[in-house]
Structure 1
Amino acid sequence: MTYSIVALCPETGHRGIAVASRFFAAGAIVPYIRGGRAAVASQAFINPLWGMEAAELCAAGEPGEAVIADLVARDAGSEHRQIHLIDADGAIAAHTGASCVDWAGHVSAPGVSVAGNMLAGPQVVEAVRDAFLAASGPLAERMMTAMEAGEAAGGDKRGTQSAGLRLHRSEDYPWFDLRADDHPDPLAEIRRLYAVAHERFIHFAESMGTRANFSGAIDRAPMDKAIAEAEAARIARGEPSRSFARERG
């Protein structure tokens, strides 16, 4: 049904989650992140309260293993649930219920957890983990590369429909929250949206308020300059805009 990656960048503290599924809008209900403190993916026969509660408790400093144990103990449907997370201390915890549809399971390495259910086989999560560890560059790009490797290894055994990529810096609002809710090639669509975000959005996002600077940057000149420079560089590389945005008139 779904596979996802939860990842932490040790250099920046950024946390991200990417998901793909033969299910509508998986990016809306699987990932839960609380700033630079917790990242949780809740999936399978999903209970959204698992993701919400786990993110809040882990962000407050509760160990991920204890949080998951509490969720399992309270939920009569726990054997149908799957969850994996990276808590505030960077520790990984996961649960795959015995009634999750085969193939279902999870793997991890320092800074990365991968889990899935209703997959073509264990090679899917292994491919995601291994590709992430082998990749370089920004966290979001490493996660996209990893998810594409999982798809190449068989992905969701039913097919494809949706994907999502959410990344947080230190704030509770996302730096990226990209979704392809119903698409013939959802991971490729996430790639396109990521490219579009780099045309204008990320330069605007640099101006947004933070805990340390509530007002953010209110001088538009640096943002406009960065957008112009990015556009000039894209044109110099011979790359057309991948945005569907059009001017009126």
Structure 2
Amino acid sequence: MTFSIVGYDPETKELGVAVQSIFLGVGSVVPWAKAGVGAVATQAFANPAYGPDGLNLLSQGKSAQEAIDTLISNDEGKEDRQVGIVDANGNSATFTGKQCYDWAGGRAGEHYAAQGNILVNKETVDAMAETFEKATGTLADRLLAALDAGQGAGGDSRGKQSAAIYIVKERGGYLGVNDRYIDLRVDEHPDPIKELIRIHQLHQLYFGTVKEENILDIEGSVREELVGNLNRWGYLDSTEVEDDKLHEQFTAFLHTENFEGRELERGKIDREVFNFMKQK
């Protein structure tokens, strides 16, 4: 009752999993990943041990296929399992046990493995695979596009409930102190993939990197509009404001609204923040 895709980006070295299911909080069970090691999706009558055990096997130098072979060789319930793995070299593999409910199967390709069970059709997996192969952008963009395409092609025959995306990158986490780059979940929602995409867009707004072409000088019409926005947000109470006060209150806005990652030197503003402020 789940479909997922594991993927690898050879340029950024990101590894991750995107998944959807008619299962409450699927993100707590299916996705596993470790920077520099690999990513694992364990599902169907999921064996949660496939996550940490699979990553441990990959860390010992086994390929994705070798890791799956070892996992299922030690599991009496293997015919009820489904698993997809990609390793840190981009090798991928997928396995579907013979007792998984139809439609069930998977497809492995360059830097990804897509799989699903209790699906409307085989086209769900094909759509994920083909979309990932053709999509551009970040690993998260490609995984989410693939997941959305899978839903559009048929998806889970029992419906929709939860979705998740988990991506690791060396020192990619908050403040660079861990490897948990993107860890987003929709545990219960009538359209979980669309909601996950929306939340990911917010994540990129708050924690994405500032693009050079989006840096604006706080002067002229930009300054005037910024002052107006800060008044509407309640950080100022007048359109006549000195530079020191403007800087103080703009900084307060950034820190209150969790935009510390987009804070620039005095006199500068990120266009993404500027546009966000206009939307209130």
Instruction: Provide TM-score, normalisation by structure 1.
Output: 0.83
Aligned-partner Cα distance in 1 for 2:11–2:71: 31
- 1:130-141 map, 5 Å: 130-141=130-141
AA matched with 2:44: A
Q: Which residue of 1 aligns with 2:31?
A: 31
1: CA distance, partners of 2:40 / 2:2: 14
Corresponding residue for 2:273? 231
Q: 1:224 to 1:129 in 2, by over 3 A?
A: same
Matched, 1:196 2:198: no
- Misfit runs of 4+, over 4 Å: 220-223
Aligned to 1:54: 54
| Amino acid paired to 1:104 | A
Instruction: Give 1 or 2 for the bigger CA radius of gyration.
Output: 2
* Structure 1 residue 149: Cα displacement: 0.7
- Residues 153 and 179 (structure 1 numbering): CA distance in 2 closer, same or farther, change over 3 Å? same
One-letter amino acid of the structure 1 residue matched with residue 153 of structure 2: A
Which consecutive residues of structure 2, in runs of 5 or more, have no partner in the other structure?
Answer: 172-177, 211-258
Counterparts in 2 of 1:153 and 1:221: CA distance versus 1, 3 Å: closer
Identical aligned residues as a percent: 36
Is 1:119 aligned with 2:119? yes
> How big is the shift at 1:199?
2.6
Work out the CA distance in 2 between the residues paired with 1:163 and 1:90.
Answer: 24
Ranked by relative contact order (alpha carbons within 8 Å, sequence separation 6 or more), the top structure is 1
The residue that corresponds to 1:92 in the other structure is 92
Q: 1:179 aligns with which of 185, 195, 199?
A: 185
Task: Call closer, same or farther: CA 1:32–1:222 in 2, change over 3 Å.
Answer: closer
| CA displacement, residues 63-89 of structure 1 (integer Å, 9 cap, x when unaligned) | 222222222121111100011101232
CA distance in 2, matches of 1:11, 1:173: 16
Provide the rounded CA distance (Å) in 2 between the counterparts of 1:129 and 1:201. 28
**Alpha-carbon distance in 2 for matches of 1:133, 1:145:** 11
TM-score between the two structures when normalised by the length of structure 2 = 0.74
Give SS of 1:115's match. strand
Question: Which stretches in structure 1 are left out of the alignment for 5+ residues?
Answer: 205-219, 242-249
Counting matched residue pairs gives 223
